[in-house]
Amino acid sequence: MKNSLVGQDVLIHCYKHDGKPHRTWSRCKILEETDRHFIGINNNTLVTESDGRSWVTKEPAICYFPKDRWYNVICMIRSDGIYYYCNIASPILYDGEALKYIDYDLDLKVWPGYRYKVLDEGEYAAHRIKYQYSDELDEIFHEQLNRLIVMTMNASGPFRAGFAQEWYNKYQQMMKKIEELKMINLKNEAEMIAFGKRIGETIFPHSIITLTGDLGAGKTTFTKGIGQGLGIKKIINSPTFTIVKVYSGRMTLYHFDAYRLEGADDDLGFEEMFEDDGFMCD
């Protein structure tokens, strides 16, 4: 999808109804983004409270953040099963800085086996008076809480058996690919193209790859491999005389000669390129 955050680590900011910060998470790796939700993971993540206290999450947790519902669901993966903590909250949004939502006090805790308990009803009652939640909001919150309870009883949505483990497995696969790409010794042109192809097959939208090396080091050869991984049919060659070349495949590849960018005309369409779902290589 356009401007997808998949593969990126993003901040999470949680607020109260009066706009004051409530809690922040130092990172959440996005595993999926659709028009309706984000799915991410917190793993050994620093959490900071509004009073300055901080702690680190103890177990991996799959985070389900709907864009059109007034709740979110945290699926904590522990040795004895999946525990769920559900927050009644405003729909999630991303403003370029962080994923953000407003916490509305009411929580639902769900144990393995789907036993559940509604939490913080007293806090909600006090805050409804303090922040003057409207009758309309109160109705929305309780309708969404009932929706969560029904999903829990039916083991549906993020409570579906296997949901959290499936996304955790995808996260592990993603991290394994990243680890494999950290240091590779390439002996010849064929290996360089093959490695570039692997990157092209797994690269995320909006990625930027920088290539450094002397003339003839193999930068363009490597980019040819990336093009193969992207399914690009056009022959890729050096952008030395054009500054940037554009190739269409599974994603758009913008191939720059960054050495020649200094002093170049500012109006090269960089903004549009960064907003596109493709990626850049120079």
Catalytic residue annotation: 23
Q: Which run of H or of E encompasses 131?
A: helix 121-131
Contacts of 280 (CB under 8 A, 6+ apart): 207, 208, 209, 253, 254, 255, 256, 273
Q: What is the CA radius of gyration of the chain?
A: 23
- For the chain, how are helix, strand and coil distributed in percent, rounded to 5? 30, 30, 40
Buried b (16+ CB within 10 A) or exposed e, 139-158: ebbeebbeebeebbeeeebb
Residue corresponding to tokens 């086996």: 113
Q: Which run of H or of E encompasses 197?
A: helix 189-202
